Structure 1
Amino acid sequence: MEHEALGEARAWILGAIGEPLLNYLLPEGATSEEGGTAGPIEGEFFSAVAELRRKLPEDWDEQTQKQAFRSWLLQKGEGDKTVARIVHERTCVDDVESGDDAVTAALIEVAQNVYPALLIPAEPLPFPALIQPEVDTAFHAAAYQNGGVFTRAIARDSGLSSVFTQDSDPIHSQFNYQANTGHGGALQLATLPSELLLSAWRDVRETMGPVGKFIERVMFRWDMLRSALLGNSVDAVAKIAFTGVLLPDGRAVAFGDGVVRTVTQAERDRVPEGLKGKISGYSGDGEVVTINYDGDVLLEYRFPYRLRLSGDLSESWVDSDEMRPPADINRLALRLRFALMLSMDSTPRAQLIQTWVAFDEPPRPGSSISWSDPRHGAGFTPVRLTSEDVDRWCEWFDILNDSRVDKIELALSRILRALAERRDPSDVLVDSVIAWENLFGTKDGEPTFRITMCLTKLLKEGLEERVKFRTELGKIYALRSRVVHGSGELKATDMVKCQEALDVAISAIRVLVSRRQDILDLKDGALRSAALLLDG
């Protein structure tokens, strides 16, 4: 093929299928000969494409012709392989395992045939949508057309066939499940190949590695799901994304049993469009800091995932402790957020604001996602963390990651709500005083006197300073009573006291967890307040 014609052919094909798929079909340097002329394989392929285009109806527009070309690449040819795979394998030898059993071997065959469809650029929807498509529609069609060999292998497998409700046609079979994440549903056997392949693609798409790496992830996903279906506990991943701060470039940090790192582009692509957007602010040295509302920092946490097959999805899945959602995830996130706030000596305070939560569950990896828009909460200022900031964050997390802190968890959560979620100063006041009461409250005696005395003794030194401080705390308590009983609107001076109530609550926890752990040894507010008041 002439050099000019070769260039035109490549340009048309590139516009139809994109660079990743073209490189898969005809790897650079493996097909063209010196001087830019087409080698035998490339020339044969381009000639076949030219012949295909000549056969297409003349009234088809350019877009329809390109769609027909993509469909042709995904048609099956010799050896039940797609045309794209046949072209690829004439120039490349992929390092792909064969599979240890019939089901695995069938899935590998499906993955090799469908992989080219994943390389086609996804067309954005022509209208606003909650989430834009990750892959081209050709992928779902290819997964369905090729997936039959896999679903039939499952129907013939003695261990797996009993998992699915039986139908005269195996492809219509499904299983109902409930999981210890609080999620559940029905998964059809016919959609299982696309679920597995898409989840594996999310794992490797940013690196665009060889086919063998993709197959490895498909096998990993399948092994995990099969083990869960057969009643075993498997390791799954929970991901919680936060906005508010940026990590130092490339920094990933271990916090307890979790890891905090930067959100990847593949993860960001899964977030609803309505959550996207940016906010900028200035650092202390005048640097512009820009963050994403959908989150820049991610907590990744591995936990034992359990799945229970169920004939009736209306049954409760929390009738046993092992089927309850893992509480440690929320505990870790709470301490992570509070530790950052304590570690940063800045005004306004640095905040880690939760934006979305996703469970990478074996039945539907990446699809169990919930979110909240940080723009609906209180305002915040973007912060770029330094390595020193992260080190202090880790130190405070270690202090908070103490079982004794579990006793005042309500105070921690109320303070974070007041700081990140509450727009109304009266709500900040109420949450802050609830935190006070969680620390030192009791159902016995006069709570205002007892709690304000405890906070005063904990935070202030000297009689004169303590008398003045306790008087101010009493005024805050009286304001809170007015607010909760609906006795008038807040004045400008009252709003200052709302913020003071929050400052006191944060200061009290800072002292308790860092210098007065002896008080935290006690099981409730009554004992903590008594010990503090009777201590010298």
Structure 2
Amino acid sequence: MAAAHDSTTGRLLVGEALLNRKEEFNTSLANSYRIHCGGSVHEIEESEDGCFDMLATIARDIYPGYLLPPREDGFGFDPAPVAAIIRHPLHIEFCRAALADESISKIFPEQDPTQINEQNVHDILSFIQLSTGSGMTFQLALLADRLIFTSHRRQLVNQTEGLRDYIRNISQTLTDARNLASGKEVNVPAVVGLADIVMPEINSLTLGQSTLRSFDSTYSKFVPANSTVTTVVTTSLPLKIVSATKWETGSEIHGKPHQEMQKQNEHWQKRVRDSVNLIRFSLLCASDIPIYLASRQESLSILDPFGATPTLFDTSRQFSSPSNTLRTDQAEKVASWHETLSNGLGTLSISVRKLLSALSERLDPVDSLIDSVMTWENMFSGTPETGVRVCASLANLLEPSSTEERTKLFKELKSIYDLRSRLVHGADNDPSFDDVIASRDKAISTALLAIRKVFEIEGFHLKKSSERSNKLILWAV
């Protein structure tokens, strides 16, 4: 413990020393060493955007701090770059420029940039509420640090290197910050951590605007410690600043009411869930039954410019299932399914959600069985005799060629449907555990086979469940 403490303290001291300014070189000590050894330092050319020029210069000077080895104590926060940014001679000028900026100033209302100095800059606070439903106080003194830190994190996600690319990320992050401050919705980079899927043969797989990647140490900064994440999705997600108000100590109310923000959060969570589920379900559709490519979302980290959005963890399931392998020959199927599903789920969004739940989120096989049969009902329902209609529709869809096999499948499915009904409505005698497991397995495989078939029939996923059922029963498909 003492050794770890000494190592961390020593690292902090070295980091602070390397990031101190050397005025004769007009940059940090680390950059001056580079120049002394014959290297060069990227020059920030003066532009009409003074705010960017100052931010990019500060970012360039502290860039070596992000190249130091990670802390050995596992603590992600590194104070050396933060301290160097706040001590930088351009820091106060940047804060004034930010308050004078037509867009950025909107998140610090009622503030006069001409009155900002080193003594009061830490007192300039706002309360920001986001479309995620989260809210936080935000300090003007930390604005440069948050923008620079996020830019470096974005560089890691993009798996790019070098100072020039880092500066390009600074520019984009500042642009995103301005758009957010102006009340616009912005798609910001995000990292979704998935568990229970491994890709030993595949480094990455492009799925529309997202990329599925094998988990490695690069992404350890974006998932919780001791997580079971095995694969990540690098993508972008919508974000918007809902309100920004001046923070005043002692004020009872800041921002919008809780109920209004709860609605914002629910709306945002749905958009995120639908986006992630599209990828999870594309994996599932490429499965070779009964080995399912059933992934589980375990984490979500959003790289917003202000660092205001926390990393969110999905704790709906507290244990890890055996990981299934995405093979090279399945990758093309996943991409094909993602393209198909990206055109819209039609009336099958509940089917998709319930089948994913049955395979990757339910702890109890009874719950998994119930979710699977609900998938059947969402695909094919109606009155009268809902159970008969659902099971007959499935049998006709999956066994169109053989009357014998179709009849056999109908009886099997009807038995499972009746078992589910008894469980939901209260059975006199509980079924055996083996019966529940066998029924669940058949219900899941049937649901996946059927939903794949529905998407293969042009326009069939757009119809109401009763219309689909009528067409199958009447052999009109």
Alignment partner of 2:368 out of 403, 424, 428: 428
Corresponding residue of 1:143? 85
The total of aligned residue pairs comes to 444
- CA deviation after TM superposition for structure 1 residue 407, in Å: 0.4
Corresponding residue of 1:92? 39
CA distance in 2, matches of 1:233, 1:63: 40
Asked if structure 2 preserves the Cα contact closer than 8 Å seen for 1:98 and 1:108, the reply is no
Give CA-to-partner distance per residue, 1:240-279, whole Å, 9 cap, x none: 23231316444432x234333344533222211131xxxx
Asked if structure 1 preserves the Cα contact closer than 8 Å seen for 2:106 and 2:181, the reply is no
CA distance in 2, matches of 1:459, 1:66: 64
Asked if structure 2 preserves the Cα contact closer than 8 Å seen for 1:378 and 1:421, the reply is no
Alignment partner of 1:198 out of 149, 152, 158: 149
1:357 and 2:357 equivalent? no
Corresponding residue of 2:407? 467
Within 5 A, what are the aligned runs for 1:24-39?
A: none
Give CA-to-partner distance per residue, 1:105-133, whole Å, 9 cap, x none: 322332233233333334333xxxxxx33
- CA deviation after TM superposition for structure 1 residue 393, in Å: 2.0
CA distance in 1, matches of 2:431, 2:152: 55
Corresponding residue of 1:446? 385
Unaligned regions of 5+ residues in structure 2, if any? 1-5, 246-253
Name the SS of the counterpart of 2:268 in structure 1: coil
Corresponding residue of 2:341? 400
Name the SS of the counterpart of 1:252 in structure 2: strand
1:296 and 2:296 equivalent? no
Name the SS of the counterpart of 1:376 in structure 2: coil
Corresponding residue of 2:274? 331
Give CA-to-partner distance per residue, 1:337-396, whole Å, 9 cap, x none: 22322323253322233222222222217x53222369735733431421x211122233
Alignment partner of 1:78 out of 23, 28, 34: 23
Name the SS of the counterpart of 1:368 in structure 2: coil
Which of structures 1 and 2 has the bigger CA Rg?
Answer: 1
Name the SS of the counterpart of 1:406 in structure 2: coil
Give CA-to-partner distance per residue, 1:469-497, whole Å, 9 cap, x none: 32222221221122123434331234312
Corresponding residue of 1:270? 222
Alignment partner of 1:115 out of 63, 70, 73: 63
Distance 1:349 1:252, change over 3 A: closer
1:258 and 2:183 equivalent? no
Corresponding residue of 2:394? 455
CA distance in 1, matches of 2:316, 2:327: 20
CA distance in 2, matches of 1:203, 1:345: 35
1:371 and 2:313 equivalent? yes
Asked if structure 1 preserves the Cα contact closer than 8 Å seen for 2:215 and 2:229, the reply is no
CA distance in 1, matches of 2:454, 2:366: 26
- CA deviation after TM superposition for structure 1 residue 418, in Å: 0.9
Corresponding residue of 1:227? 179
CA distance in 2, matches of 1:69, 1:531: 73
Q: Letter of the 2:23 partner, please give it.
A: E
Q: Letter of the 2:441 partner, please give it.
A: Q
CA distance in 2, matches of 1:339, 1:161: 43
- CA deviation after TM superposition for structure 1 residue 151, in Å: 1.5
- CA deviation after TM superposition for structure 1 residue 159, in Å: 5.5
Name the SS of the counterpart of 2:346 in structure 1: helix
**Worse-matched range after superposition: 161-170 or 264-273:** 161-170
CA distance in 2, matches of 1:219, 1:394: 32
The higher-RCO structure (CA 8 Å, 6+ apart) is: 2
Asked if structure 1 preserves the Cα contact closer than 8 Å seen for 2:293 and 2:326, the reply is no
Distance 1:437 1:318, change over 3 A: same
Asked if structure 1 preserves the Cα contact closer than 8 Å seen for 2:52 and 2:171, the reply is yes
Alignment partner of 1:216 out of 168, 177, 180: 168
Distance 1:337 1:449, change over 3 A: same
- CA deviation after TM superposition for structure 1 residue 454, in Å: 1.7
- CA deviation after TM superposition for structure 1 residue 326, in Å: 7.9
Q: Letter of the 2:189 partner, please give it.
A: V
Distance 1:204 1:509, change over 3 A: closer
1:246 and 2:193 equivalent? no
Corresponding residue of 2:52? 104
1:172 and 2:112 equivalent? no
Alignment partner of 1:510 out of 438, 442, 452: 452
Asked if structure 1 preserves the Cα contact closer than 8 Å seen for 2:199 and 2:327, the reply is yes
Asked if structure 2 preserves the Cα contact closer than 8 Å seen for 1:121 and 1:135, the reply is no
Asked if structure 2 preserves the Cα contact closer than 8 Å seen for 1:252 and 1:262, the reply is no
Q: Letter of the 1:98 partner, please give it.
A: E
Hey, which bits of structure 1, 4+ residues long, moved more than 6 A? 61-66, 318-321
- CA deviation after TM superposition for structure 1 residue 136, in Å: 3.4
Asked if structure 2 preserves the Cα contact closer than 8 Å seen for 1:85 and 1:113, the reply is yes
TM value normalised by structure 2: 0.81
- CA deviation after TM superposition for structure 1 residue 412, in Å: 1.5
TM value normalised by structure 1: 0.73
Asked if structure 2 preserves the Cα contact closer than 8 Å seen for 1:271 and 1:294, the reply is yes
CA distance in 2, matches of 1:62, 1:426: 52
Matched residues, percent identical? 23
